[in-house]
């Protein structure tokens, strides 16, 4: 359910919000039909969230097309023109390049990169916010960027919730009996694409069932416990991050 300025929002109202394109309206409808309550002070916060979610989903398809490699921290690689590879397998932004150019390079020169799935999730979220707020504000917010595991800049305001996953949400599939020789398959971070499929770096796009089956094939000999979807969802705090846009506040349907 969606509430804006204390008012419940229905499907008819969504159709009349001019700031939403068709894909964003579809995302808004999923929010309306969710058991979770999505509460906003202004319509700007709602339109920011739907646009951001759409851009995270688009970033997944774009990363798959860019085709970076899948690697453990010890074998990670990056384009040295934009990033410094740390001794622990992180990518530290070079001081002579902008954060936006460095993030975009992963999508342009993907074959120069290899990383594991948690770093991949952070890249997707940064690309989503970049395409939502634009290069100028992104570069102001995310100087000194480090891509490594779940490490993230405080301005990428991530929160953990439980409930129904929505397009752009980050979920985790745990593989409790992973093979000890391949600890990178102890689980997979995935992003809900909103159409019954999910994206996970190193696995690609598939249904929840197909991704679980792939992880089950990477268990230790004699394993009997299946990989399973955990109940935690990670997402940006869209309502707070909407302040990064600086657009004039609009009333619902204004």
Q: What is the 3-state secondary structure (H, E, C) of 47-97?
A: HHHHHHHHHHHHHHHHHHHHCCEECCHHHCECCCCCEEECCCCCEEECCCC
Copy the structure tokens of residue 35: 């058991």
Question: Which residues are CB-contacts of 201 (< 8 A; sequence separation ≥ 6)?
Answer: 63, 68, 70, 115, 116, 117, 120, 121, 189
Strand residue runs (E) in 201-246: 204-206, 228-229, 233-236
Confidence grade of residue 252 (pLDDT, cut at 50, 70, 90): very low
The pLDDT of residue 246 is 65
pLDDT digits (tens, 9 = 90+) for 127-186: 999 999 999 999 999 999 999 999 999 999 999 999 899 999 999 999 999 999 988 899
Q: What integer is the mean pLDDT of 230-245? A: 94
Taking the domains of the chain in order of start, what are their residue ranges?
A: 2-244
Whole-prediction pTM: 0.94
């Amino acid at each position: 359910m969606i509430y804006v300025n204390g008012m419940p929002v229905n499907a008819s109202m969504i159709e009349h919000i001019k700031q939403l394109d068709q894909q964003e309206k579809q995302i808004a409808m999923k929010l309306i039909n969710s058991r979770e309550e999505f509460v906003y002070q202004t319509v700007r916060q709602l339109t920011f969230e739907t646009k951001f979610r759409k851009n995270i989903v688009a970033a997944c398809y774009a990363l798959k097309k860019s085709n970076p490699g899948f690697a453990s921290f010890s074998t990670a690689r990056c384009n040295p023109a934009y990033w410094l590879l740390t001794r622990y397998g992180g990518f530290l932004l070079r001081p002579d390049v902008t954060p936006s150019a460095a993030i975009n390079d992963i999508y342009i020169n993907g074959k120069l990169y290899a990383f594991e799935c948690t770093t991949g999730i952070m890249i997707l979220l940064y690309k989503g916010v970049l395409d939502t707020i634009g290069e100028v504000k992104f570069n102001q917010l995310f100087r000194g960027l480090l891509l490594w595991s779940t490490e993230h800049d405080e301005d990428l305001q991530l929160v953990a919730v439980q409930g129904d996953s929505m397009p752009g949400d980050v979920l985790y599939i745990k593989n409790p009996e992973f093979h000890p020789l391949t600890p990178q398959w102890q689980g997979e971070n995935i992003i809900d694409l909103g159409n019954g499929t999910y994206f996970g770096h190193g696995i690609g796009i598939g249904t929840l069932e197909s991704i679980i089956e792939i992880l089950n094939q990477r268990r230790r000999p004699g394993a009997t416990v299946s990989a399973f979807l955990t109940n935690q969802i990670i997402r940006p705090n869209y309502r707070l991050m909407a302040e990064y846009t600086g657009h004039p506040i609009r009333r619902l349907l204004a």
